[in-house]
């Protein structure tokens, strides 16, 4: 008993997953025509690697996928899994007690093969069933008319069946593979000899090219050494330049710090000069106010002096008039002598007042001139301070 179970899904008339368990008492599967008996044997043949759609009673391999009915849609792939009992190690290369062989085919034309859920090649499946009598060409599957085909077949075709039954089909296939490899090797040898002949014609040019390549490698190495020497020299020069630049940079930083310190001192001195300028400006403003006040007083004194001068002139005219009147009128000398004395006294008094006013006026003018000189000096000093502040 080798077959244990057959799992079919999407293969021909089995759209749903169907599992057939083969017990020890099963010897045959019977049923009416069209019930799918042959599809079971086709599924077994297909999962063991059958590649001929005609051998599966179809026009193309896509026909093995369930095509659908009026009430049911078609499926996208067909899958068959064959579980074989391996307790007696009919597969020497497999140590498992059960061997599950699976084949899956898609409508796109892609095929997948698995042995115990491990992806394998078709060649692996074919070699697994070889010499067991269960291959796709084995004698374990004989369909209708198969016996007539065997009897009417050529001796070479019958020989394949006998070799499969005798267990030497594997060696025949290996021999055929070895012969094909030998043929390919001989073809490769012929191509290699042709290639060698072609290459012999290229030996002399290649030898010249090799010499040139050797010279190129030597010159390249020399050029590399020269470039390295040049780079090292440039590197030394760059390092020296960098050291000089660093020294210049540090000197420039020192000068910058000194300039900053000097600038800060100038700013402080400028602030001091500014404060002093403000003080001088305030003092100059006070002196200007005093000068203005003195000028006002001088103008007032000048006005008073002018008034006094006018009064003196008027008094002199009066004296002259009185004198003329005195000379003209001797008769009235006695009575007018007293008036003349009074007028003379009054004139003397006026002359004294005029002299006092002139003295005061001169003093005021002297004070005004000195105040103006001081103001001019303070203004000159203030201008000098502004100039120094601008320079700072």
Which CATH class for the 3-136 domain? alpha beta
Per-residue pLDDT at 352: 76
Q: How far is CA 109 from CA 64, 292, 339, 388, in A?
A: 12, 122, 165, 102
Distance CA 10, CA 57 (A): 16
High-pLDDT (> 90) share of the chain, %: 16
CB burial string 39-76: b at 16+ within 10 A, e below = bbebbbbbbbbbeeeeebeeeebeebbbeeeeeeeebe
Give the tens place of pLDDT for each residue, 24-68. Answer: 777 777 878 777 788 888 888 898 888 888 878 888 889 899 988
Average of pLDDT values for 181-197? 88
pLDDT band at 144 (very low <50, low <70, confident <90, very high): low
Distance CA 1, CA 175 (A): 31
Phi first, then psi: what are they for 260, rounded to 5°? -65, -40
Average of pLDDT values for 124-153? 63
Per-residue pLDDT at 339: 67
Distance CA 246, CA 241 (A): 8
Q: Where are the domains of the chain?
A: 3-136, 168-201, 285-391
Distance CA 116, CA 307 (A): 147
Residue 149 pLDDT more than 80?
no
Per-residue pLDDT at 311: 79
Residue 145 pLDDT more than 60?
no
Higher pLDDT, 151 or 93: 93
Per-residue pLDDT at 305: 72
Residue partners of 339: CB distance under 8 A and separation at least 6: 322
Residue 243 pLDDT more than 50?
yes
Compute the half-sphere exposure of residue 286: CA atoms within 13 Å on the CB side of its CA.
Answer: 6
Neighbours of 101 (CB within 10 A): 22
Structure tokens at 153: 């077949």
Strands 3-9 and 111-115, by their bridges, are unpaired
Residue 141 pLDDT more than 70?
no
Per-residue pLDDT at 379: 62
Average of pLDDT values for 127-131? 75
Average of pLDDT values for 121-128? 85
pTM of the entire predicted model: 0.42
Residue 302 pLDDT more than 60?
yes
Per-residue pLDDT at 167: 56
Instruction: Using DSSP, state whether 109 is helix, strand or coil.
Output: coil
pLDDT band at 335 (very low <50, low <70, confident <90, very high): low
Residue 36 is given by DSSP the state S
Per-residue pLDDT at 1: 47
pLDDT band at 77 (very low <50, low <70, confident <90, very high): very high
Q: Give the chain's mean pLDDT.
A: 79
Average of pLDDT values for 75-104? 89
């Amino acid at each position: 008993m080798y077959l244990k179970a057959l799992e079919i899904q999407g293969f021909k008339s089995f759209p749903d997953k169907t599992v057939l368990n083969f017990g020890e008492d099963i010897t045959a599967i019977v049923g009416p025509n069209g019930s799918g008996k042959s599809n079971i044997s086709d599924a077994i043949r297909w999962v063991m690697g059958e590649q001929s759609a005609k051998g599966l009673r179809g026009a193309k391999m896509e026909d093995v996928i369930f095509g659908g009915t009026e009430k049911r849609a078609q499926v996208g792939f067909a899958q068959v899994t064959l579980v074989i009992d391996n307790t007696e190690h009919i597969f020497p290369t497999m140590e498992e007690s059960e061997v599950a062989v699976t084949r899956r085919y898609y409508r796109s034309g892609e095929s997948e093969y698995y042995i115990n859920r491990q992806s394998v090649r078709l060649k692996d499946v074919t070699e697994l069933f070889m010499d067991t009598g269960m291959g796709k060409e084995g004698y374990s599957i004989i369909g209708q008319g198969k016996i007539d085909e065997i009897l009417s077949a050529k001796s070479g075709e019958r020989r394949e069946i006998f070799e499969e039954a005798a267990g030497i089909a594997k060696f025949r296939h290996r021999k055929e593979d070895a012969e094909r490899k030998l043929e390919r090797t001989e073809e490769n040898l012929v191509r290699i000899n042709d290639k060698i002949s072609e290459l012999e014609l290229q030996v002399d040019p290649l030898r010249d090219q090799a010499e040139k390549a050797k010279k190129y490698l030597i010159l390249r190495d020399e050029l590399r050494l020269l470039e390295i020497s040049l780079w090292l020299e440039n590197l030394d020069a760059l390092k020296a330049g960098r050291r000089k630049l660093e020294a210049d940079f540090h000197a420039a930083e020192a000068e910058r710090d000194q300039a900053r310190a000097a600038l800060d001192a100038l700013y402080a001195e400028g602030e001091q000069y500014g404060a002093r300028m403000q003080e001088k400006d305030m003092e100059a403003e006070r002196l200007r106010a005093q000068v203005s006040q003195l000028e006002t007083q001088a103008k007032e004194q000048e006005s008073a002096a002018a008034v006094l001068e006018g009064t003196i002139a008027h008094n002199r005219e009066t004296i002259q008039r009185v004198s003329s009147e005195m000379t003209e009128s001797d008769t009235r000398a006695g009575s007018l002598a007293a008036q003349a004395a009074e007028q003379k006294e009054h004139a003397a008094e006026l002359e004294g007042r005029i002299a006092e006013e002139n003295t005061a006026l001169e003093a005021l003018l002297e004070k005004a001139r000195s105040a103006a000189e001081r103001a001019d000096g303070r203004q000159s000093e203030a201008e000098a301070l502004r100039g120094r502040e601008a320079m700072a």
